[in-house]
Structure 1
Amino acid sequence: MLIIVQIILVAAVMVVSLALMRGGSNARHLAVRRILLMIFAVVAALSVFFPEALTRVAGFLGIGRGTDLVLYGAVVSLFVFMATTYQRFRHAENALTKLSRRIAIDEAEKPGQLS
């Protein structure tokens, strides 16, 4: 059962990373991020108040302890954060490059113009 959970976790990381890298910051992606954040907050709060439930869920999935399940979730969250940060960085870098080119063209000397 543990190998199945591991395969699912790796697949989830790959799918989420690809989806976040592919998409832009449109309303749909923003809504998905907000929903995932709300789910995370609810699960985190419930796991604080009911740690034995988290251990039962981990046991059902074939993971030894609830702590390990939290660790796997943290790793997935880290990869999602990395993917979204990379996407934002690339977008900002492309915008800066276009702006720099536009400024260079606008400020370039025209042929035959004296400085």
Structure 2
Amino acid sequence: MIKLLLVPAIVLAVVFSLRSRASLRGQARRKILAVLTVVAGVLAVLFPGILQALADFVGVDRGTDLLLYMLAVVIIYLVGSTSVRFREQEARLVRLSREVALTETEARLIARGQPPGRP
């Protein structure tokens, strides 16, 4: 049964992590995932029997193995999410750099007495 749960979980983690970071839905999803991860971690530490019972239910031998599987899915999500965030930041930086370069060029042209429309 664990395979039937892990494969879709990994696919969903990749799909959700590669979506845009700017949407409010994406921000809410990340916050909910963070809270759920913390709550699950605290519960696993305080009540290891629950983790073992859940592991038995899904067909995993040990609760620690189930915890490892769940953490792997979370890490896959975080790696994809971080990759998207870096790409978006890089695109913003490129746009900003181009705007600064154009503004500086325009300022130099004005300082030389040339109209900005002509080099």
Please indicate, yes or no, whether the TM-score normalized by the shorter chain is above 0.5.
yes
Q: Which moved more, 1:85-94 or 1:99-108?
A: 99-108
Q: What 5-or-longer segments of structure 2 have no aligned partner?
A: 115-119
Q: How does 1:17-28 map to 2 (within 5 A)?
A: 17-28=14-25
Distance in 2 separating the partners of 1:35 and 1:100: 34
Query: Aligned partners of 1:101 and 1:25: how far apart in 2?
Result: 22
Moved >4 Å (runs of 4+): none
In the other structure, the counterpart of 2:117 is none
For normalisation by structure 1, the TM-score amounts to 0.82
Aligned length: 110
Give the Å deviation of 1:7. Answer: 4.0
Q: TM-score under structure 2 normalisation?
A: 0.80
Post-superposition CA distance 1:43-89 (Å, at most 9, x none) = 21111121122111101101110000010011111111101111110
Q: Does the 8 Å contact 2:44/2:51 carry over to 1?
A: yes
Tell which deviates more after alignment, 50-59 or 33-42.
Answer: 33-42
Which residue of structure 2 aligns with residue 104 of structure 1?
101
Question: Equivalent residue of 1:22, what SS?
Answer: coil
Name the residue aligned to 1:68.
65
Aligned-pair RMSD on alpha carbons?
A: 2.0
1:88 counterpart residue number: 85
User: Within 1, Cα distance between the matches of 2:96 and 2:45?
Assistant: 48
Separation in structure 2 between the aligned mates of residue 24 and residue 44 of structure 1, nearest angstrom: 25
Tell me the CA shift for residue 25 of structure 1.
Answer: 2.6
Contact 2:17 2:80 in 1 (8 A): yes
SS in 1 for 2:18: helix
| Rg larger for | 2
Question: How far apart, in 2, do the equivalents of 1:68 and 1:100 lie?
Answer: 47
> Unaligned 5+ residue runs, structure 1?
none
